[in-house]
Amino acid sequence: MKRIGFILKVRAELVEEYKEHHKKVWPEMLEALSRTGWRNYSLFMRPDGMLFGYFETPESFEAARAGMADEEINARWQEMMKPYFEALDGAAPDQAMLELEEVFHLD
């Protein structure tokens, strides 16, 4: 299992609204994440909107994102989430995730 950490930046003025959306993620989106191998997925956020995400996947970050790219529900979710993020440069949020290098792990 590959452990993945990534960061994104939520617009500070939209942090509370962003959190509300994640209290009620669409069931179809949750099913798609599970179907495409996203496991133990968590999001953590500082008050200023800096977002850290973590998940585990069988293969790689690229394979996990590619799996979700084939899911129609993901396209709809990403379009809805797009206004919440800074510095996307036209990309969907899931394509702008900056993968972090794992430098330590205690099992």
Class of domain 2-100: alpha beta
Whole-angstrom distance, CA of residue 28 vs CA of residue 34: 10
Q: From the centroid of its chain, how far is CA 45?
A: 12
pLDDT of residue 80: 95
Residue 88 confidence (pLDDT) = 82
Q: What's the gap between Cα 84 and its chain centre?
A: 12
> What pLDDT score was predicted for residue 54?
98
Q: Are 51 and 95 in contact (CB under 8 A)?
A: no
Tens of pLDDT, residues 68-105 = 999 999 999 999 999 999 978 878 888 888 999 999 99
User: Could you give the residue numbers annotated as active site?
Assistant: 22
Residue 106: per-residue pLDDT = 95
pLDDT in tens, 5-26: 999 999 999 999 999 999 999 9
